[in-house]
Amino acid sequence: MARPRALWLLPGALAALPAYHAAYAVQYMSVAEAQKAAFADASTFAPVAVDRAALDAALAAVPDSALGTGWAPQVFAAKKDGATEGWLIVDQVIGKAEAITYALALDAQGAVTRLEVLEYRETHGGEIRLPAWRRQFVGKTAGDPVRLDADIHNISGATLSCRHVTDGVRRLLSLHAHALKTA
């Protein structure tokens, strides 16, 4: 093979690396990018207000994915020439060690057309569920022991869990059935 394959950096060989105490965090897409990827020809993405009663009804329909208060998915209606082509819903799920913000695209009939991860953050249990608009302030707390390290592009030896996304998608489909379905 013409190109080198791999080189282990081991303590003693080269400079011993300090152990990283860093959380893995990756921003994949913005909400605008996810909108465009899912609905290339939509001209507007109108925010849809979903009231608490509708959220509660949607949650009640999927009891085994129960989630505390604070569920605050952001819903956008993708429109072209005034007609709704479908919806893009941005939500986040929090697992034991990770928080995932993702976007689910549904067509006008409510069928899933796309699922994109917008952001993946390791939390090691240190994060609580917050509405997206408040999250911008999180992580700026002085003395936060966990540093988000931009150098960590690749990790191995860690199973990046996505289990909770499946439950999240079920909740969003229920939300569509309770609050968005037009017919």
Partner 1 sequence: MQTRRARPLLGTLVDIRIDHDGIDRARALAAIEAAFAEVAEVHRLMSFHEAASDVSRINREASRAPVAVDPRTREVLALALAFARASQGRFDPTVAAELVGWELLPRPANAPAPARDADWRDVEMLDDGRIRAAKPLWIDLGGIAKGYAVDRAIERLAAFGIEHACVNAGGDLRRMGPGLEPVHVRDPSAPHRTARTLLLGEGSVASSGSYFGCAHVDAMKRTPISERCVSVVADRCVVADALTKIVMSDPAAATPLLGAWDAEALVLERDGAELLGRAA
If binding is defined by CB under 8 A, does position 29 make contact with partner 1? yes
If binding is defined by CB under 8 A, does position 127 make contact with partner 1? no
Q: Which of 57, 61, 67, 117 binds partner 1 (CB under 8 A)?
A: 117
Instruction: In whole angstroms, give the CA distance from residue 161 to residue 27.
Output: 16
Answer yes or no: are the C-beta atoms of 121 and 131 closer than 8 Å. no
- Give the residue from 8, 24, 56 showing the smallest Cα distance to 153: 24
Instruction: In whole angstroms, give the CA distance from residue 131 to residue 150.
Output: 24
Give the nearest distance from C-beta 100 to partner 1 in angstroms: 8
- In the range 84-113, which residues lie near partner 1 by CB under 8 A? 97, 100, 102
Give the nearest distance from C-beta 157 to partner 1 in angstroms: 4
Instruction: In whole angstroms, give the CA distance from residue 142 to residue 146.
Output: 11
Hey, what are 122's tokens? 């390791």
Of 78-86, 117-125, 130-138, 175-183: span binding partner 1 (CB under 8 A):
117-125
CA-CA-CA-CA torsion for 111, 114, 117, 118, nearest 10 degrees? -100
If binding is defined by CB under 8 A, does position 150 make contact with partner 1? no
Pairing of the two strands 147-148 and 112-122: unpaired
If binding is defined by CB under 8 A, does position 162 make contact with partner 1? yes
| Amino acid found at 76 | F
If binding is defined by CB under 8 A, does position 6 make contact with partner 1? yes
Contact map string, positions 47 to 86, toward partner 1, x by CB under 8 A:
----------------------------------------
| Binding region for partner 1 (CB under 8 A) | 1, 3-10, 17, 19-23, 26, 28-29, 37, 97, 100, 102, 115-117, 120, 122, 124, 146, 151-163, 165-166
